[in-house]
Amino acid sequence: MTTANVSSAAPVNATPKIVAFEIINHGWDHAQYFQGCGTSFTPFAHCVTGAGMNAVEAYHDALEQIWTGDASADALPKRPRGLGITLRNKVPATHMGEDSEFYSYVSIRYSTDADKVG
């Protein structure tokens, strides 16, 4: 888990910029049993969860969700370190198959300069 604060002032009507975030590598799980991730009892206002065949793919899926959700993900690292987000952290071959529903999950909790959290 990684947390960070990024300070920047945004002009009115600009794309909201992320000012604080937390990256969580959940590892792999079956889609039916993954509990999800949220913002309850945290200082963050938003949460996205990405899924993929490995943690890198899941992280990029989460980043894509932030970009399509009208926020700028520029403050987030392109390759987070120390979280086990690697190509090697993948769904085991024994769980792979044509109908497999096992995925690697990575969540990003974040707040933007447009949020009033607290």
pLDDT of residue 90: 61
Q: Which range (37-41, 81-85, 108-112) has the least confidence?
A: 81-85
pLDDT of residue 11: 53
Does position 13 have pLDDT exceeding 80, yes or no? no
Does position 117 have pLDDT exceeding 90, yes or no? no
Q: Can you tell me whether residue 38 is helix, strand or coil?
A: coil
Q: What is the pTM of this model?
A: 0.79
As beta bridge partners, residue 2 has 23
Does position 81 have pLDDT exceeding 90, yes or no? no
Mean pLDDT within 86-96: 63
Does position 69 have pLDDT exceeding 90, yes or no? no
Long-range contacts of 27-32 (CB under 8 A, 24+ apart): 27/55, 27/84, 27/89, 27/104, 27/105, 28/89, 28/90, 28/91, 28/92, 28/95, 28/102, 28/103, 28/104, 28/105, 29/102, 29/103, 29/105, 30/101, 30/102, 31/101, 31/102, 31/103, 32/101
pLDDT of residue 44: 95
Q: How far apart are alpha carbons 42 and 53 in whole angstroms?
A: 28
Q: What are phi and psi of 28, to 5 degrees?
A: -105, 150
Q: Which range (53-62, 90-99, 102-111) has the least confidence?
A: 90-99
Provide the percentage of residues in the chain whose pLDDT is more than 90: 37
